[in-house]
Structure 1
Amino acid sequence: MAGMGPPPKPAGQRRRRNASIAMTKLPAEGRKGRPPKWPLLDDVVLTTRRDMAMRKADDLELALLEPDLKGRAKAAAEKKADEARATATILQKQLEAQQKIEAELWKQLWSTPQAVMWQRLSWTREVAQYVRWKARAEAGDLDAAKEARQLADRLGLTPLSLLRLRWEIASDEVAETRQARAAREEQPRRRRLRVVDTDAAAGGE
């Protein structure tokens, strides 16, 4: 019949314009098992600076052995050698501290609920890059702090990014049940304490 148009699609084939995308549930207890192997090399910039400072200190200390070096010239050379050795020592300590922070943070992150999705998506290096920037940020690097915030947003480490990625941390029913039980057990104890306090006050009158 003219003007009627095509027949309607079956209900299963119809699409709603405002249909919401399903959320991916993440386990509240987090990811189980050991973290992946650390995929990055040591901090190249920091390692290079340390190595250069050590070589400079070695060269200056070797120059101190020159028999013609005396008086003020020798004192100045000794001061430079000491400064270079101190710089090398500081850089070495910074590198060790950064590696310690990276190891601790790496282990913590791979036990989070988000780590379940990181493993599924093979985001190992992306997480490692976040760890590196975060470790630098904790050492006081403001530029590193900015990079860490951006990567945290991409990895679902903020509430807004969780929503954008359509990830949702499931409620921990075991913990909620335990808390509810503890609250119920606490109520009679509080009532008993109130009774004791009331009796003590009455006896003191």
Structure 2
Amino acid sequence: MAGMGPAPKPADQRRRRNATLALTPLPAEGRAGDPPRWPLLDDVTTVTRRDMAARAADDAELALLEPDLKGRAKANAQRKADASQAEATILQAQLEAQQRVEAELWTELWATPQAVQWERMGWTREVAQYVRWKCRAESGDLDAGKEARQLGDRLGLTPLAMLRLRWEVVGGEPETSAQQPGARRPSSRSTQARRRLKVVDNDEKGSG
């Protein structure tokens, strides 16, 4: 009939313009259990620099054994040996410190609500790469900080990133639950992880 417009679509063909995608719920208490096994090798760059410094120190020590090496030449060789040995020692200490920090952050991250989704999607190596870049960033590497922020967004480590991924933390414990029999309390590891993530979020906002 003229002026009446097109006939309405059948109900199964209609679509609400304001319809939204469903959010993926994540448990507020975080992921339970031990973290996955660490999947990455030791920092190859630091390991290589340490090994090269150690070899240079060994070569310098051998040079000091030459009977013809005397005076200023011997003093220079000794300084070279000492400098190379000091560099190797520093790099070894840095490597050990990095391993400790990586292990700590790795454990904390796998106790977060986001870790439940990481496990579902098999994002073990992606999380490990974030941990490595984040640890380098905390030691002052600005380029590593940029990489860590990008990976953090992909992993949903900020509220905005979670919104983009359509993730939602649900099931938070009421304030009065401590008085309810059988109420589940968040683990100390999960609480510590959430505190760490707040620090990470604030750091990234401050550096952005």
AA at the equivalent of 2:46: L
Q: SS of the residue aligned with 1:105?
A: helix
Aligned to 1:194: none
Aligned to 1:177: 176
Distance in 1 between the 2:149 and 2:9 partners? 49
- After superposition, what is the alpha-carbon deviation per residue over 1:14-68, rounded to whole angstroms, capped at 9, x for unaligned? 2112211111111000000111111111111111111101001000011100011
RMSD of aligned Cα (Å): 1.9
Aligned to 1:199: none
Moved more, 110-119 or 139-148: 139-148
Percent of residue pairs identical: 70
Structure 2 unmatched runs, 5+: 181-208
Moved over 6 A (4+): 1-4
AA at the equivalent of 1:52: M
Please give the TM-score of this superposition, normalised by the length of structure 2. Answer: 0.80
1:95-106 to 2 correspondence within 5 Å? 95-106=95-106
Distance in 2 between the 1:127 and 1:17 partners? 36
Aligned to 2:10: 9
Please give the TM-score of this superposition, normalised by the length of structure 1. Answer: 0.81
Whether 2:107 is the aligned partner of 1:107: answer yes
- After superposition, what is the alpha-carbon deviation per residue over 1:58-82, rounded to whole angstroms, capped at 9, x for unaligned? 0001110001111111111101100
Q: SS of the residue aligned with 1:53?
A: helix
Moved more, 155-164 or 137-146: 137-146
- After superposition, what is the alpha-carbon deviation per residue over 1:92-148, rounded to whole angstroms, capped at 9, x for unaligned? 011101111111111000000000000011111100000000111111111111111
For this pair of structures, how many residues does the alignment match? 179
Aligned to 1:164: 164
Q: SS of the residue aligned with 2:15?
A: coil
Aligned to 1:31: 31
Aligned to 1:85: 85
Larger-Rg structure: 1
Distance in 2 between the 1:6 and 1:59 partners? 89
1:58-137 to 2 correspondence within 5 Å? 58-137=58-137
- After superposition, what is the alpha-carbon deviation per residue over 1:129-185, rounded to whole angstroms, capped at 9, x for unaligned? 0000011111111111111111111100011001000101114124x224799xxxx
Distance in 1 between the 2:178 and 2:41 partners? 44
Distance in 1 between the 2:100 and 2:115 partners? 20
Aligned to 1:151: 151
Moved more, 137-146 or 56-65: 137-146
AA at the equivalent of 2:150: Q
Distance in 1 between the 2:44 and 2:125 partners? 16
Structure 1 unmatched runs, 5+: 182-205
Distance in 1 between the 2:100 and 2:138 partners? 12
Distance in 1 between the 2:159 and 2:130 partners? 17
